[in-house]
Amino acid sequence: MPRTSHTPRTRVALLASALVAVSLPTIAFAEDSDPEAGADAGRVVVSSDFSGNTLPEGFKAAEGTWQVRDGRLYGSSSNSSQLSRITFGEHLNDFRIEVTARFESVVDNGRWTAMGLDMPAGGAVPWSIATMRTGTTAANGLEFAQRTPSNTWNVTDTHAAPFAAGTGKDVKIAAEVHGTKAVWYFDGKEVMRTSKVARSADGIQGLLVNGASASYDDLKVTELPPRSYIRPAGSPLTVIAHRGASSAAPENTLVSQEIARRGGADFIENDVQPSKDGVPYILHDTTVDRTTDGTGPIRSLTSAQLDGLDAGSWFAPHYKEARVPTLAAQLDDLRTRGGDLLLEIKGSHTKAEVATIVDTIRAHGMTGRVFVQSFEVDALRYTYELAPDLPLGLLRSNLDADPVALAKELHLAAYNPQDSAISKNPSVIADLHKAGVAVMVWTVDSADRWKSLESAGVDAIITNRPTELIGWNNAYRQSQSIPPAKPKVAITSPAADAVLDRAQSPLPTVQSDDADSVTLTLDGKPVPAGTPMDLTTLSTGPHTLRAVATGAGGTAEDTRTFTLKATPTGLAHLIFTSGAKEASISSMTAMLGLKQYSLLATWAKVQSGKSLDADRAALIAGDARALDSAR
């Protein structure tokens, strides 16, 4: 029997039509170590090494040929039209699916296998998958894709893998899914993220093959803790589209929401207020004057009046058809087309008005995809009383005296200050994190501030420029992921194995790259690079220069050896620079000129400490003896 377990938004008006999909949308995922995150977090739902000879219990082949043999699961698709698939597991919001996959044969390099992320148990459409082509180094070698209810393809994200899977090669692949967000892992490395996984109420996991024969081993599905809103180290900033993509489309409209979604924003941030007849609408201002062709406070207008307003022409003529959406319409759009909502309860609300908002969220099945924030403490208290499962964020223009205590009192998942406030006291970020509270900063459109806030450790940024922030995020992550280059260093002077005499003053020269500091030593003693060496203090024989470069990428060194040789010219230099009196110098130069080296050595020894400095006397005597020996 196989070892298998199963348990229960006119500057960029063209953007709306041109923007289809942007790779690598960002969201921070973290495994929450809090045991209250869920009793089943970390539960292994499926685990099989296919050691038997039959399909494991609970595996259901929906199309194509699937069989277990030789310790692997084999799946076959006879041609490029057949979508062979097998399902297993159970419905999970947060999970990891991993498997070792191998292409046995393929019709062509465009054929693929996939991990099913959300599939009906019977294998029918629609489903969401993470795909690997045999030609994985192609631009679309890896994909997140959907098979729609109309049985057509919607490829949401593509990326090239670091190497080709080819055939006959085991590749470890995995995907981590948190609601509509997922991360693709290839050979243990993250390669792509998405926020567009289409989810159903009961979809389970699976494997698929197209135009290929593939085999699998070590399949595992593990339930994960719900995602944390605190950004793990190394993860990108969470991108929150302020009133949708409000720099590209009329704010708080479905078209602004669509552009933000297509750009890959992690959350759409919108404002909700009631109409005169109590219907929650998406609008920021207390009046409709600025963003519609109407006038008056939103609370004095009926839903019928609000529905007839033009909410797009103020921004650009071609947005004339945009309307002020109801909360219900926005939630429907998010549920069917993807995206999560950071919903601001705007202005003072009664408990009954908050209840209407909560009921609307529940009625549309979006409690797991809505994060509620407000400046109004009462609105947050009401929300917690009515729906403690909804995460809460407190908006602030200035920091409170004790943000941590207030966060605990209000059961906050996030504390959301204005940028100018957090910049005055960024240390509060760490304090909030220790209390398990994320920090979402508003409203920041400057790349310089994005960098500062990223470095300070904030978790999310609310911005009018979500697509730009996503691009910045990706570029920043890429630069951070490139390891620092190892330093290079080379001694370029004196020449290697040079033979020098004391009359010379060689200039030690060092070249280095990617180094923060370079030290140079001569026979172990520090010497300044670029300063001529004084050879009148060295003994004859070999000497070693050593350069050590240190940088972020480590250290590097280079050594160079030269030989100091006794020569008449060098000895004359020793004598003339000895500081002796003129009579002594005359005596020594006379002996040197007559090549009376032995007599010069004896004279220097006798005069040591008298007419000659002792150290210089020793060097003169040594060079003289060496010259005498060399004759």
Report the catalytic residues. 242, 284
Pairing of strands 340-345, 267-274: parallel
Beta bridge partners of 189: 186
Four-residue CA torsion sign, 458, 463, 466, 468: negative
Write down the residue that tokens 């004339």 correspond to. 320
> Hey, what amino acid is at 527?
V
What's the number of CA atoms in the CB half-sphere (13 Å) around residue 506? Answer: 24
Longest alpha-carbon distance in the chain:
121
- φ and ψ of 398, to 5 deg: -135, 155
Of 435, 270, 253, 425, nearest in space to 342 by CA: 270
- Total number of residues shown for the chain: 631
> Hey, what amino acid is at 520?
L
**Residue 504 CA to its chain's centroid (Å):** 55
Alpha-carbon span 491 to 196, nearest angstrom: 55
- φ and ψ of 140, to 5 deg: -110, 30
Contact status, residue 197 vs residue 144, Cβ threshold 8 Å: yes
In a 3-state reduction of DSSP, which class is residue 430? helix
- Give, in order, the Cα–Cα distances in Å from 358 to each of 325, 412, 574: 17, 17, 95
Contact status, residue 327 vs residue 280, Cβ threshold 8 Å: yes
Burial readout 467-503 (b: 16 or more C-beta within 10 A, e: otherwise): bbbbbbbbebbeeeeeeeeebebebebbeeeeebbbb
In a 3-state reduction of DSSP, which class is residue 415? strand
Continuous H helices in 482-567: none
Burial (CB count within 10 angstroms: exposed 0-12, middle 13-18, buried 19+), residue 366: buried
Of 306, 201, 319, 308, nearest in space to 249 by CA: 319
